[in-house]
Structure formats: structure tokens, C-alpha cells
Amino acid sequence: MSRRICLAAALAIAGPALAAAQASPGEGGNWLIRGGTVVTGTGERLANTSVLIRNGRIAQMGANVAAGDAKVIDAAGKFIYPGMIDANTPIGLVEIGGIQPMTMRNELGQFNPHLRALVALNVESEFLGVTRMNGVTSVLTSPAGGIISGQAAMINTAGWTWEDLAVTRSAGIVINLPGAAGAGGGRGGGGGGRGGAAPAPAPSATDLHAFMKAAQDYDAKRTAGSAKLDLIYESMRPLFRKEIPAIIPAGGEAGIRSAIEFGEQYGLKVVIMGGAQAYRARALLAQKNVPVILSSIQSVPQGNSPYDEIYAQPGLLHDAGVKFAFSTGGGANARHVPEHAALAVAYGLPLDAALKALTIWPAEIFGADKEIGSIAQGKMANLFVASGDPLDMRTQITHVFIKGRNVPSDDRHSRLYQKYRARPMPPPG
Amino acid sequence: MHTLIRSARVLLGAALLMPAALAAQDLAIRNATILTIANGDIENGTVLMRNGKITAVGRNVTIPAGVRTIDGTGKFVMPGIIDAHSHAALEGGINEGSESVTPEVIVQLRNDDPVIYRALAGGVTAALLLHGSANTIGGQGLVIKMRWGTTVDSMMFKGAHRIVKFALGENVTRASSTAEAADRRYPMTRMGVDHTLRYWFTLAKDYDKSWTDYRAAARTNPNAIPPRRDLRLEALADILRGDLKVHAHSYRGDEILMLIRVADDMGFKINTFQHVLEGYKVADEIAKHGAMASTFADMWAYKVEAWDAIPFNMALMHQRGVVVSVNSDSDERIRRLYQEAGVGVRYGNMPVNEALKMITLNPAKQLGVDKMVGTLEVGKDGDIAVFSAHPFAPAAMVEYTIIDGKVHFDRNEANTLRKVVVPSPSPSPSGGAR
């Protein structure tokens, strides 16, 4: 990445202060990105189009937009893309795996719908800086563990506080339906507590149903004004009002069927998380309009499945009319989510659909599409400028804007890069 | 798939029993973009292989009658991908972890591991299968060609280096520090690793000298008594003589520099630093020692010693003259090493051909097989990957993988998802997400 070297170099010269200086959320004010090809994220490619950013939002787009007092970035010959989204990560909750104070994603207890990922996010997480540098401007960050893990949040990858990071404060509640994640081959609980969680008593479907019925009962009483406030049950009410989805890890056809049935039983909007073999239930998913957050495509196939099972699945889901989004499931590798999409394109997913699955679809799935997911007037200015298709490894990303702020490449990795690039070369011989 | 794979294996196995079917190793790919790695890219080019070797690469190549020809229109042809760090297809574990110095042991190949097939489907034609990283001086690895469906012996890459694994840092020491006191094992610190290396190479030098002295004495004294043979010290002596090449698992710059100084002092060479995540901090020292580097494209934060790993590592080491490869160390990444190499372009702007070298010529050098593979040049083995698009483009998919002029993976004949998937029963698709 060759961009904004000046600022990074200036930071490198700052020497010892460097270690303390974390990546900057960027320079605000008004910006005009002039004369690039805007790829809107909703299917259009607008040649020779400028984007004016005011007050953190896209104020105007078109061929002739006056800069006024805005700082100008020349995008001639370049492409302007909506910021990409990794639809499941632990960013902000987990830093170095295995070190307990840096790994606070799994709370004790089985029923934690009241826990909010957002309020526990470390705004100085090094993952944020390196992730946004590759054009990934938003991520879902989710809690894990127990049967009901808590509330995920859709956040930007730059901001001053967790409130500043937030796009959708509560983007859904993670419900680990006992048995669902394992069905169809076991690997699929991208966001769930399965796999990574500490050994716990086997979760019981009976317990979950008892909890759900009690929550429904509470909801009815509260509506009727006849129940005292209960923080745990109260946090379930947006689910029953379908304001936010239940995010249910499910691997294969059986797990997906039970997740959809569970949603219908309690009147919930369901998002499948994982879906290693979701293609086996694609007609049902399409019919019920249930979207899938795909767990890492950078995986190996289940059992004796065809070698290209994981790579080819997104194309099959698309053909069947299922809405989906890509996710890495990780913090350190969230920046590589466009490479996940590239694998899907190679094995049969149309490129435009891959871009949607990186932008507008995850925004829609998590109720954030009024703010992010495409380049459109009035939306939050989350976008990046690149020399070409972000799914092509040869492309260079030159500018990243988040909430209208021009974010410099002063993340941890760029700082180390600049520091050691500047090490004097040894004398010849 | 297993049934298909097994029957494919039986068929391939049967083919091998037939009298030397060299015609099966005659092959041409025409009208493709040829990424030669050695001599630039050739548009509308042809690669011709006879008897398993490349006999022509260029625009004006006459394909002899009767040679099977793949139409490469729109396709990209590159040397077969080489993975310089894998633990795939190893039988019964990868660590002889009972002691911290075990260069006498050798990993054992399990030739029917489906990972080999999946790697082939990602364009991989050769790999170094390494011992694990539990020991300061671990065991010896194997260099194989991915000749899926053949015997263990026929998969060996003849002429490759003999390679032994070293390891530094957390893996060598952590095994001990987390164990019960009674099970702890020296060394438990990086200090102890430094000393362990110096201690054993001091013994090895004495051992080697005792044999040199014996052989000298035996010339005049038929009754000279030979030293007692010690396979461990013999392997270490092989390292001192350069007959056994060192590939050293390493993370931090300090420990990399430490091992370089141990090698300098003891009189041996590090052939390749493996992982070498902070290689960018000591790239000049690595280059000066003459060592090479085989790293991850981007793996960090999974443990403390991986905290300063950066995706620019490849580019920075390359800029300072280190021969860099990007490896998988994973049954997953071995399927898409071409994508991993592309990270070197995205981060640090490596020239595309230099990035492609990281999965072809450079690992070939590290495995001692660069005279045979790693580029598309006349005289080299017919080891080739045919892609549907440029390997760094989003549409890049491997269509054919060829070893010694023989097609070992053919996407048209492979068991793909779209071929096996049964149309989902009604309800019919509603097209909601178009």
C-alpha cells in the first residue's frame, strides 16, 4: 500500500512516541473525491463521477460537483467503492487469542440476551486499523458462548469511542440453538460459542424453549402493563417485534430447518450464521427469505464432499435466490474478506453479486442499510478509492473514508512497515 | 467423493503398472498466456512437454501430431505451485516430542490423504512436508511431488535436499512451561534454546572429528578402533557438512539473529527460516548469512510472538535481497497459495512476477529443486498449473494440474459441487436476493 506515506512517515519519525500513538480515526471536514468510477454497490457503475462528503455523509454525486470549501482528492482513473463489511468477527472483544484479558467474548451463564458487544469494544483494538486499511469499513462484532450469547453490533472500523463506532447498536441476538450448528457436518457456528467456548454442560433445547416461553409471557404482560421491568426478558422484546434478527449458528440442512422452525415458532426474524452446507437447504432459505452469513470460505470441505464445496456454495445460493454475506469469523484476518468473495467468484458467483454480499446485503441483513452498504446520497460516507477491483490482489487501495473522515494508513502494520522500510541499507559488499 | 477418489486412485495405480507409458507424458497447452517466471509472460503461447520434460515454450511452437493438446484460450499457465511448508499427509503425528533434539527421525508419508488431492486442485505440484515445531532440533522432512494415486516411493521428489527442522520461541519452550513441574523439559526459555543448539553442535563437532581421526588412523593402523556410531550426532554432523539443510521455525527478530550467530559460530548454514514473521526486522542479517525465508502471507495475533507479524514482511525481505517464499503450513491454505502470494502485491506493492516467484522458483530454491522445477523453461520438469484467469484475479480457478507432463487434476473430470448437487426439492426458488 503506497498511500498517504507522508503521514505515516511523519509518525515513524516521531520515534518512541509511536508505540503509544494508536491509529487515527481520520481527518474530518468536507471532502470532494473527484472524477472516479463509482461502483455503487447496488449494481451501477457510474463513470467520471465525483462524490462530495459533508458532515460525514454523501452530500452529492455527479459529473459536475463543485468543491466549494471541500478538500479535493483526485480519483481520475480510479474506482470508488462502498466500504466492505465483514459480517461476523470478534473485533474489539478479542485481541491476542489465548490471553484471557484480551479474550472477553464469552460470558458465564446460558441466557444472556441482555449482554451488548458494543459497550465492551476496545476502540484501540489494533484489528480496527489494519482492517479498514484494506477497505473493510464495517464489521459485525458478536459475543459468543452459552445458549443465548448476547447482542451483536454493526460497527465502523474507525471512531473515537464505541458510540462513535456504532452503526447499529444492536444488530441481532446470537442464539445457539442446541444441535443446530453441528447438523450437516458440524462446522458452521461462525459466531456461536461452539468450538471456541470453554467446556460447559451440554446446552439443552428444553431449557431454551422454557426461556423463550417465559420471555414471550413477559412480553405479553409488559405490553399489557402488568409486569415489572426485567432487564433480561426486556432485551428479548425487540426480537419478538422483529426489530432485530435472531442470529442462529447452523451448519447444514437439518440445522437450518430447525433454526427456521424455531424462528416461526416464536415469531422471530432469523439470520443463519455459518451455513457450511446451506446450499442443501437453499430452496427453503429462499422461500422463507432467510439470509445466511457464510462462515469463512477459507476452509476445507466437509467429510467426503466435493473439493470445491466451500468455494462453489455462494454461487449456488445466489442461483437459488438466497441472500447472503461473507464473513471471516476472525479479527486478525477480517481485512481479507474480499479474498473470500474472490474465491466464490472463481467458482461461479457473479462479480456484482459478490460485491453486494460484501456491502449492501450484510447492511440489509443487520438493519444498517439506511446508513451503510452502498454509495448513495444521504448515506454515511463509508467508502474507499482503489486502482481497480478490490477482489483482485493486484489492486492498490489508496484512500479510505469512514463516516466522512479520511483515514490515514497509520495502523500498526503500516507503522512497522514504514519503520523498517526506513532502516538504512547495509553498505554494499 | 471418497468412492470417486478411491476409484481414481485405483485407475491411476493401474496405469502405473503398465509398461513405461511415456506417451502419457507428452502434452501441449496452446494459445494461452504463459507466465514463465524466468523470461516474462508470453501471450498466445504454447508449452510443449515430451517424456515429462518441457521441450518448448514460446509463440511459434509446432506441436507434433498425436500429442494431446489442451486449448489454453483465455487461460493462464504457470509453473506448478510449490509449498515450502506443509504437514499434510503425514502418518502418525508430526512431532517426536519426547526430547528437544531429534534430528535422527524422519516424518512418514501417508499417500492417500485427500489433502494431496485438494492441493493438486489448487495447482500445487510439490511440497516440503516438515516435522513439527516442538523441538529445538526436530526431525527430517520429505520433499514430495503430488503424484496422487501412486505409491509412497513414487511420490518422493528425487534430487531434492535432505531437510531437517529447527524451531525457536514459544513452541519449543511452551510445551514445557505449561506442563506439570515433573514433565518440564529443557529448554524453557529462548536463552535455553541458544545454549541447547551450542551444546549439541559442540558434541557433533567432536563426534565428527573422532571419525575423521579414526579414518586417518585406519589408513596406517588396521586395528584402529572406530568410534561408537551415534545416529543423532551423525545427523548433526551432516548439518555441519551441509548435507542436511536446516529449515528453522522462527518468529521474532531477536531469535532469528540468535540462530544466525549460533550457525556462524558453529560453522553451518541456515538454509531457510520458516515463518520468520519478524524477518523484516533482521532482513539484512538474513541476507548476509545467505539464508532464505518462507513465510505466511498474513498470520498474526494468534499468539504473542506473532504480534509484530505484518503482511509487508514478504515485500520488505524481498527488497533487501532475501529469497522469499509464501507457504501454507495448513491443509486449507495449501488449496489457494496463489491468493496468498497475491498478498505480497496488495501489501508492499511487490512486482507481480516477484510475487509469483514466492510460490514457484523461490520455494524450489529452498527445497533444492530449482534446476528441475519452478519456472517454465526448456529442460525442466513438466510441472504446470493452468488457471482460468490470472492467478491474482478474482476469477482465478485451477483447471489443470500437470506433473511430469501428466495431467493429475482436470477440473472437467473432477467431482465438483455443481455436478453432484441434487436440485433442492420444492418449494421452488423465489429469487429474493437478486
Please report which helix (H) or strand (E) contains residue B349, including its range.
Answer: none
The overall average pLDDT reported for chain A is 90
pLDDT digits (tens, 9 = 90+) for B275-297: 999 999 999 999 999 999 999 99
Contacts of B174 in chain A (CB under 8 A): none
Interacting residues of A186 by C-beta distance below 8 A, sequence separation 6+: A251, A302
**Which cell is A216 given?**
414471550
**pLDDT(A143) > 70:** yes
Contact A347 B397 (CB under 8 A): yes
A19–chain B Cβ distance below 8 A for any pair: no
Our CA angle for B21, B27, B32, nearest 5°, is 165
**pLDDT the model gives residue A102:** 87
Q: Which of A31-45, B3-17, B364-378 has the lowest mean pLDDT?
A: B3-17
* B-interface mutation test, from A122, A307, A313, A397, most B Cβ less than 10 A away: A307
Averaged over B331-355, what is the pLDDT?
Answer: 97
Taking 90 as the threshold, does the pLDDT of residue B15 lie above it? no
Categorize the per-residue pLDDT at A228 as very low, low, confident or very high, splitting at 50, 70 and 90: very high
Q: Please determine, for residue A124, whether its predicted confidence score (pLDDT) is greater than 70.
A: yes
**Cross-chain Cβ contact A283/B394 below 8 Å:** no
pLDDT the model gives residue B24: 75
- What number of CA atoms fall less than 13 Å from residue B196's CA on the CB side? 23
Nearest CA in chain A to B279: A420
Q: Copy the grid coordinates of residue B417.
A: 459441487
Residue B180 is predicted with a pLDDT of: 65
Asked if pLDDT for residue A21 goes beyond 60, the answer is no
Helices (H), A77-167: 126-132, 162-165
Query: A306–B417: do the CB atoms touch at under 8 Å?
Result: yes
Q: Which of residues 315-354 of A touch B (CB under 8 A)?
A: 315-316, 318-324, 331-333, 336, 339, 341-343, 345-348, 351, 354
Selected residue of B320, B331, B335, B411 to mutate for chain A interface (largest A Cβ count, 10 A):
B335
Q: Where are the alpha helices (DSSP H) in B221-303?
A: 231-241, 253-266, 283-289
Whether A321 and B1 lie within 8 Å, measured CB to CB: no
Q: How far apart are CA A266 and CA A260, in angstroms?
A: 10
Contact yes or no for B429 and A291 at CB 8 A: no
| pLDDT surpassing 90 at residue B85 | yes
Supply the pLDDT for residue A179. Answer: 85
Helix (H) or strand (E) holding B126: strand B124-129
Q: Which residue has the cell 491476542?
A: A96
Whole-complex ipTM: 0.91
B347 contacts in chain A (CB < 8 Å): 1, 413, 417
Q: Which amino acid is at A391?
A: L
Residue pair B254/B190 in contact (Cβ under 8 Å)? The answer is yes
DSSP, residue by residue, A6-62: HHHHHHHHTTTHHHH-PPP--B-S-EEEEEEEEE-SSS-EEEEEEEEEETTEEEEEE
Kindly list the distances between the CA atom of residue A129 and the CA atoms of A81, A135, A246, A417, B312, in Å, as whole numbers in the listed order. Answer: 19, 11, 29, 14, 15
pLDDT tens figures, A298-309: 999 988 899 999
Does the pLDDT value for residue A116 go beyond 90? Answer: yes
Mean pLDDT of the region A310-331:
97
Q: Is pLDDT above 50 for B51? A: yes
Closest residue in chain A to residue B415, using alpha carbons only: A306
Q: Which residues of B touch A343 (CB under 8 A)?
A: 336, 339
For residue B246, list its beta bridge partners.
B164, B270
Q: Cα distance from A165 to chain B (closest Cα, Å)?
A: 22
Q: pLDDT tens digits for B229-268?
A: 999 999 999 999 999 999 999 999 999 999 999 999 999 9
User: What confidence tens digit (pLDDT) does each residue in A341-363 have?
Assistant: 999 999 999 999 999 999 999 99
pLDDT for residue B73 is more than 50: yes
Helix ranges (H only) for A202-307 are 205-223, 231-234, 237-240, 253-266, 282-288
Option in B312, B397, B430 nearest A413 (CB) = B312
Candidates B86, B310, B412, B419, partner chain A, best to mutate (most A CBs within 10 A): B310
Alpha carbons within 13 A on the beta-carbon side of A69 = 5
Alpha helices in B253-389 (DSSP H): 253-266, 283-289, 313-319, 337-346, 352-357, 361-367
